[in-house]
Amino acid sequence: MIDTTTLWIVIIGLGIGSFSLRFVFLGLIGDRAIPEWILRHLRYTAVAIIPALVAPLVMMPAATQGNFDLPRFSAAAVALIVGYMTKNVLWSMLGGAVTLYPLLYLLG
């Protein structure tokens, strides 16, 4: 169970932090130039942090006590490949779902 105080610290902290990141250059720096090497790193935050978060969830799902699970792994692989091929978020989610449920039914 998530502690209520912790939860609100996270909601408010994340709110302030996210706003600050969105405001930092717009509000404080105006139109002064930002060093290219900083921008270059910032461009890769999403494709760096999100896979780092997802990989353990895919390889060791909590729902199967951290053991490798073929339906979940296959669904993840299909979602990623469909997303990459179609560049479409919705097709990707759909691909993952139509892989997961039949396999869970067959192997579950």
Partner 1 sequence: MRVYEFVMSHQTSPFRLGLSKGLPFILVVLPFAVLFGVVGTEAGLNLFEVLSFSIVVIAGAAQFTAVQLLTENVPTVIVLLSSLAVNLRFAMYSASMAPYFGDLPLWKRASVAYLLVDQAFAISATEFEKQTTWTTNDRLAFYFGAVIVFIPFWYLGTLVGALVGSAIPPEYALDFALPICFLAMIGPALRTMAHVGAAATASVSAMVLTWLPHSLGILGAGLIAMMVGAEIERRMGQRSK
Residues 58-77 that bind partner 1 (CB under 8 A): 58-63, 71-72, 75-76
CB of 25 to partner 1, least distance (A): 4
Among 24, 68, 102, 107, binds partner 1 (CB under 8 A): 24
CB of 88 to partner 1, least distance (A): 7
CB of 67 to partner 1, least distance (A): 14
Q: What is the DSSP string of 39-89?
A: HHHHTTHHHHHHHHHHHHHHHS-GGGTT---HHHHHHHHHHHHHHHHH--H
- Please report whether residue 45 would count as binding partner 1 according to CB under 8 A: yes
Smallest CA-to-CA distance from 77 within 64, 58, 56, 90 is with 58
Among 56, 68, 70, 102, binds partner 1 (CB under 8 A): 56
Would you call 6 helix, strand, or coil by DSSP?
A: helix
Q: How many residues bind partner 1 (CB under 8 A)?
A: 75
For the record, the structure tokens of 44 come out as 């890769």
